[in-house]
Every structure is written in C-alpha cells, then in structure tokens.
A and B are shown apart, each in its own frame.
Chain A
Amino acid sequence: MKINDLIKNLNADIINIADVDREIVGGYCGDFLSVVMGKAPESAGWFTIMNNQNVAAVATLTDVGVIILCDGVKPDPLLDKKVRDVDINCITTSLSVFDAVKKSGL
C-alpha cells in the first residue's frame, strides 16, 4: 500500500514524509523497542504510542516503512526533529492502535 492511501485510511497528520512512493507492507504493533527491533518486518507500518527519539533510531535501523503514532500521541520535540533530520516516514492518528490497525487496510 502507498503511504498516501494509509494517510487517508487513518485520517492521519503528517510529521514527515521521506518517500511518498514507498510501498508499505504489513505492520507491527509494539512499544518495547527491542521487541520491535527483533520482530517488525522491513517496510512494515509500525503502530506505536512511544514518541521519543529512540523510535527514529529503531525505525531507521530496522527499515520499517512508516512510524504510525496512535492514540493522538505527538512526537516529542527530539523525535519530531529526528524524523526530519534522518528523513523517515512518520505520521500520527487520533485512532487507538486497535482501530488504526483495523482501518489501515494493511
């Protein structure tokens, strides 16, 4: 799925889009970073409520397709800066993780 379709489905706000054409494949839900590191597939949509800068490091190293901050969570100032600096996809939605997954269409 293209990220624009995901944004529509989740009625999401954009924090940073690095690559509009990136194909998002499947997803993973989790807040413990080492669990996500070990299990999130490449190019996945990562649904989380964790919003600090370490999220960007994990997303970069595991090459997930997009960070989806759920439940109305906004990135803290350092994450906000970092997703732009390292230029990775990050969006936010007011939906809960559960509803976001259901509506994502992933």
Chain B
Amino acid sequence: MSEALHLEFEVAGNNFVSAGGASDEVKKTLKMLGVSTASIRKVAIAMYEGEINMVIHAGGGRAIVDIYRDRIVIVLQDNGPGIPDIDLALTEGYSTATDSIRDLGFGAGMGLPNMKKYTDEFKIESEVGKGTTVTMVVNFV
C-alpha cells in the first residue's frame, strides 16, 4: 500500500475546456508507468465518464487517484445535487441531461453503465442535497 502514487485533481463545473484533463493526466501517468494499453483504455473511459458527470451534473468536484503496482483506485467526489435513485441512474439510456447538454453530445445515459462495465469494482454513494462519491477500481492486466 505504501508504494502508491497519489494524485488529486480539482474538476471545474460546467467547464468543457478543462473537462477530461484529469483523465488525460492519469492516462499519461499510466503510460509512463508501463501499464498495458488494455488497462489504460478501461481507466481512461471510466474516469472520463465520471469526470464529465461531475462537470455536467454536479457543478464540479474532486478526483482522488491512487495507483498501485497491480491496480488503480479512483475516487470521484462532488457536492452536487446527489442521485435520488441510483438503480435508475445506472439504467442504460437514463439521463436527466438538458437539451443544451445533449447538443454537445452528452446525455445518452451511457456514462454510468460504461463506468460499471470498464471497472472491476464500482460503487456509488449519494445523498440528495449533499453530493455523490463514486469509487472505481481497475486491476491491471
């Protein structure tokens, strides 16, 4: 555990210029560490979806990333509105995105399903009015 590489990122809300920046940094770091491209791809997809959800749905948040030799642990924390029904939110195609967000190409309701699909461990904790914490683990192959 002590040999973890620890990274933290502020993710700005409603800012599409910086959106994806944290995921991109993590991707570059994993590449440098020699992690397999298959694992990097899974991490990049899952983390970008989570990052963009904080940008769009939560007014921003924080990404806390710990990289171990055999896995990565990503925690995405926000103080947004929270998710009232997590099972519903996880349903493919479910989205509360507005028309203007859809015009940007988001809102297919595939973000959370992708995050679940591309990670080995996936947990959402959310309280309405308080915020959401998503924890994801990808084991390197």
Which A residues fall within an 8 A CB radius of B? Answer: 31-35, 37-38, 42, 50, 52-55, 57-58, 60-63, 78
B68 within 8 A of A: no
* B9 is an interface residue with CB less than 8 A from chain A: no
Q: A31-B105, A33-B105 are in contact. Are A63 and B41 (CB under 8 A)?
A: yes
Q: Is the CB of B16 within 8 A of A54?
A: yes
Mostly, the A contact residues are helix
Number of B positions contacting A (CB below 8 A): 26
The reply to whether B111 and A52 contact each other, CB–CB distance below 8 Å, is no
29 contacts between A and B (CB under 8 A): A32-B105, A32-B108, A33-B105, A35-B108, A35-B110, A37-B45, A37-B49, A38-B110, A38-B114, A38-B118, A42-B41, A50-B105, A52-B16, A52-B104, A53-B16, A54-B20, A54-B52, A54-B104, A54-B105, A55-B105, A57-B19, A57-B23, A58-B20, A61-B20, A61-B44, A62-B41, A62-B44, A63-B37, A63-B41
B interface residues, Cβ below 8 angstroms from A: 16-17, 19-20, 23-24, 27, 37, 41, 44-45, 48-49, 52, 104-111, 113-114, 117-118
Provide the residues of chain B in CB contact with A50, threshold 8 Å.
105
Determine the distance from Cα of A60 to Cα of B23 in the docked complex, in whole angstroms: 10
Most buried by B among A32, A34, A37: A34
Contacts of B23 in A (CB 8 A): 57, 61
B24 touches which of A33, A52, A57, A78 (Cβ 8 Å): A57
CB distance from A27 to the nearest CB of B (A): 17
